[in-house]
Amino acid sequence: MYEDIEEILFNEEEISRAADEIAFRINRDYEGKHPVIIGVLKGSFIFLADLVRRLDIDFTVDFIKASSYGDKTRSSGNVDITYHISADIRNRDVIVVEDILDTGYTLSYITEYLRGFSPHSIRICTLFDKPGRRVVPIKPDYTGFVTDDLFIVGYGLDYNEKYRGMPCVGVPKTQSKK
């Protein structure tokens, strides 16, 4: 079924368990609160949908779209916000949900942008963390998996809009040697 995939790194069951664990921590940390959960488009939408269905707290969902990749497999370092939040986050707790944190350029830019709206707090939730690629000193508060420096696709992660719908995460053959 995935003939373009060199290796499956995380299957559906592993991803589901990670989402359960992250949701458990968010439910505990935000009990009695009403955070604004901001999904970073497009990559986080599948993880975000699975995550919020596991939450037992009240929350508001909003979206932001930012990218530093374009059609490349490596971040350019130039972040562009093309879709802005609409929720009022002043004095609110904010959880930014991202698919992957690698160089840190995008999430650092987004958190600085959001600080301009005077939220009470900002925490970062990412399904995948690649600390070996970090250029900007930023750490996630909630992480599903720490990964090696591989270009990965599936479960929302794409390469030129391909592979997003895979229910698992793997390394595409065309990228495995880069």
| Residue 102 DSSP one-character state | S
Whole-angstrom CA distances from 55 to 24, 50, 51, 128 are 8, 9, 7, 19
Q: Pairing between strand 93-101 and 36-41?
A: parallel
Residue 74 token pair: 């490596």
Rounded-to-integer distance, Cα 43 and Cα 28, Å: 26
Catalytic residues: 102
Could you tell me how far CA 120 lies from the centroid of its own chain? 21
Distances (CA, A) of 155 to 14, 24, 55: 12, 20, 19
Cα separation, 70 vs 21, whole angstroms: 31
